[in-house]
Structure 1
Amino acid sequence: MKLTSYSNYSIRVLMIAAARFPDLTTIGDVAAAFAISRTHLVKCVHQLGSWGYIETVRGNGGGFRLARPAPAISIGEIIRRTEEGFDIAECFREETNTCPLIARCRLRPALQRATAAFLDTLDDITLDEIASNGDDLLKLLELSPPSCRENKLTA
């Protein structure tokens, strides 16, 4: 199974927002740090904002920051929202399935269990866990740490 760039970039945006909280981060900062398209990031930030994971501040000195506590954001929840679906085989979609083995196939249920296990594992991982080394991440990306750690957003 391979996640889309959209999921990957959305998780990166959230990790940086968690690491830099409560400071604002700009799309330009993230685009430069990861050498990825600002256009793609605008879509990610907009959608994450509309889902309530981040808040955006417009205008000069604007940017985005976490709107929910990092321990309350499940990676599985984000992946489910950012991926179109988890049809890893043709037979997962009955409307497009052409496999004549579907009635007796034992692979399909096994793949469905594997997909469920994958998502269950991600459900148990929080943004706080994957961004707990935020200072190290920010240093690697040459991004400034938050100006104040005392305002850390927690559950």
Structure 2
Amino acid sequence: MQLSKFSDYALRATVLLASDPERLISTRHIAEVYDAKYFHMAKVTGWLVANGFMVSLRGRGGGLRLAQKPSDISLGALLRKLEAERPIVDTTRDTAGNGPDLPQELVASLSAAQDAFYKELDPITIADVVAKSPNIVALVENLDAVSAQA
């Protein structure tokens, strides 16, 4: 199973904010840390705010922070919500109605595998990820250097 780029950036942004939960970090800084396009990261962080994972504070000194404690955000629940629009296989025919349907047994098996994937990630929290990733703290510390250069 491959995650979308959107989900990849959402995980990265969430983990970055979790590494220093009291700090407000701008979308621009998150994009710079991960060498991502600002507009793509803005779409990602907007989705995370709209879905209750982050809070956005506007104005000078504003930025983003997590809406919940990192220990309350399940990796499985976050990914399940991020990938909700993407079934593991496309079961639709092409626009002309051509092509055979996928066997229902195959679709059911792949769907069960996708559910197992999320269930495996359910007990893991964003706090667990940060605790096992000491280099993420260095990324936050580098934000000061990035800010000073801007």
TM range (shorter): 0.7 to 0.9
After superposition, give the CA deviation of every residue in 1:64-99 in whole Å (9 maximum; x if it has no partner).
1111011111111111222244432344x69x8953
Map of 1:137 onto structure 2: 136
Map of 2:7 onto structure 1: 7
How far apart in 1 are the matches of 2:20 and 2:133? 8
What amino acid is aligned across from residue 13 of structure 1 in structure 2? Answer: A
The share of aligned pairs that are identical, in percent, is 28
Bigger proportion of residues as helix: 2
Change in CA separation of 1:101 and 1:143 when aligned onto 2, cut-off 3 Å? closer
Q: Is the 8 A contact 1:19 1:135 kept in 2?
A: no
Q: CA deviation at 1:42?
A: 0.9
How far apart in 1 are the matches of 2:98 and 2:110? 15
Moved over 2 A (4+): 84-91, 96-102, 105-110, 133-136, 140-144
1:38 aligns with 2:77: no
How far apart in 2 are the matches of 1:36 and 1:78? 21
How far apart in 1 are the matches of 2:98 and 2:74? 32
What is the TM-score when the length of structure 1 is the normalising length?
0.77
Map of 1:50 onto structure 2: 50
List runs of 5+ in structure 1 lacking aligned partners.
Answer: 145-155
How far apart in 1 are the matches of 2:9 and 2:130? 14
Change in CA separation of 1:119 and 1:99 when aligned onto 2, cut-off 3 Å? farther
What amino acid is aligned across from residue 128 of structure 1 in structure 2? Answer: A
What amino acid is aligned across from residue 27 of structure 1 in structure 2? Answer: T
How far apart in 2 are the matches of 1:41 and 1:49? 12
1:107 aligns with 2:106: yes
Q: Is the 8 A contact 1:75 1:127 kept in 2?
A: yes
Map of 1:61 onto structure 2: 61
Which one is further off, 74-83 or 126-135?
Answer: 126-135
1:124 aligns with 2:116: no
How far apart in 2 are the matches of 1:17 and 1:101? 41
What is the TM-score when the length of structure 2 is the normalising length?
0.80
How far apart in 1 are the matches of 2:127 and 2:98? 39
After superposition, give the CA deviation of every residue in 1:105-124 in whole Å (9 maximum; x if it has no partner).
64333322211111111212
Map of 1:149 onto structure 2: none
Count of equivalent residues: 141
Cα RMSD between the aligned structures? Answer: 2.5
